[in-house]
Amino acid sequence: MKIDQLMADSGVGFGTSGARGSVEAMTNPVCYAYTQGFLQAMQAQSLIASGAPVFLAGDLRPSTGRILAAVARAVTDGGYRPVYCGRLPSPAIAFHAMQQGAASIMVTGSHIPDDRNGIKFNRPDGEILKPDEALIREQSVTLPEPFPAIDEHDLLSPDPAAESAYLARYRNFFGPDCLQGMRVGVYQHSGVARDQLVDILQALGAGVTPLARSEVFIPVDTEAIRAEDIELGRKWAAEQGFDAIVSTDGDADRPLIANEHGEWLRGDIVGVLCAHFLGIKTLVTPVSSNTVVEACGWFDHVYRTRIGSPYVIGRMNQALAAGESSVAGYEANGGFLLASDIERDGQILQALPTRDAVLPILTILIGAHGQNCPVSQLVSALPPRYTASDRLKNFPTD
């Protein structure tokens, strides 16, 4: 069976970031076949070898455990070693695998409702790009007959190393007292980073109040903030006097940040402020991001791309190949991609060229705290731009 034909038959296809489909369409055989196709494509490029570890993680939606088990079975049957790292942020599993020179797979539907899910595939050097997708589509895979029964309880106990490495990434670079005295609310909902975000902020000295933890999946979309979340932000700020409120989408590759008034910041504003804090010189962003990035005059080079992280990463790679230094990217959803290592005060923040929510959250908070100003003042320093975004709901896909 060719993956290309499987896509047509199942309705599960590649989107702007990974394969996605309805939970009903993402059957165990479909997820197994996609995983086989990915592994074959990686081996065809000599990026992985038989017996190599493949790191796995997932978000908190109800279907994720079953899909993870199907993915793990395909990894094992393909002659590789699955290493299950638990329910973790997408950038956490990608970062840990990259440090090990290994491929990784994240089961997540990101910000979409829980009747859908997805699988993100990462090469040992980062996200798969459009040429990788094309190669996966060309793969012919063979499913076992009869197809085995797969249960999510087949997953082994999580390896804690990926979570530990992600927390250490920020704790080591920024230091233990950089947020001392700051009061931060963490809107937890059903985001997979809800506990790690609290841990990281506390490790940096912030006083943290967890808010609105949910055991029911809530599809938080940072480009189309729900009316109830707008109201919650204002309510929490008024009642509890936070310096900021922070959150992420379902798999923690898109940040949600509110100022001291509980007003949520636009993701493309967050991306510009994050890049400026880090001293980025070359910045890549899709055409959907607003024009403040050019108008502010903070960056030597600004490149625009089509929408989707593979295009942003591809353009960042071109900039690096051309010898440009201090390269990063961001999307209108606020997800930040770091293509170059950043050195500061003898510490190195290693490149992580995939969307991350925690880095922009920390740079906004630390930037405001370091300047002894409210978050709203950071934003007011930018040239005014008027932008809006939302999403169509219940829109037919055929």
Cα separation, 2 vs 203, in Å, equals: 48
Across the beta sheet with 207-213, what order do the strands follow? Answer: 207-213, 183-189, 244-248, 255-258
DSSP one-letter code for 144: -
Neighbours of 376 (CB within 10 A): 15
Does residue 303 belong to any structural domain of this protein?
yes
Do 143 and 177 fall into the same domain?
no
DSSP one-letter code for 264: B
pLDDT of res. 1: 86
Average pLDDT over all residues of the chain:
94
Specify the CATH number for the domain of residue 300.
3.40.120.10
Do 244 and 370 fall into the same domain?
yes
Residue 110 is a catalytic residue? yes
The answer, yes or no, to whether residue 395 has pLDDT greater than 50, is no
Do 260 and 140 fall into the same domain?
no
The answer, yes or no, to whether residue 385 has pLDDT greater than 60, is no
Across the range 311-336, mean pLDDT stands at 97
Q: What is the pLDDT of residues 105-142, one digit of tens each?
A: 999 998 888 899 999 999 999 999 999 999 999 999 99
pTM of structure: 0.94
Do 199 and 259 fall into the same domain?
yes
DSSP one-letter code for 245: E
Domains: count for the chain: 2
The answer, yes or no, to whether residue 384 has pLDDT greater than 90, is no
CA nearest 165: which of 81, 251, 99? 99
Do 296 and 210 fall into the same domain?
yes
Do 16 and 111 fall into the same domain?
yes
- Distances in Å between the alpha carbon of 365 and those of 182, 226, 315? 8, 23, 28
Catalytic residue among 10, 63, 104, 110: 110
Do 140 and 230 fall into the same domain?
no
Across the range 365-382, mean pLDDT stands at 96
Do 121 and 180 fall into the same domain?
no
Does residue 398 belong to any structural domain of this protein?
no
Rounded to the nearest angstrom, the gap between the alpha carbon of residue 328 and the centroid of all alpha carbons in its chain is 15
Do 173 and 104 fall into the same domain?
no
Does residue 394 belong to any structural domain of this protein?
no
Parent domain of 295? 164-380
Cα separation, 362 vs 252, in Å, equals: 13
Does residue 395 belong to any structural domain of this protein?
no
Do 184 and 134 fall into the same domain?
no
Do 347 and 277 fall into the same domain?
yes
Instruction: Dig out the tokens for 61 from the structure.
Output: 């939606």
Do 190 and 60 fall into the same domain?
no
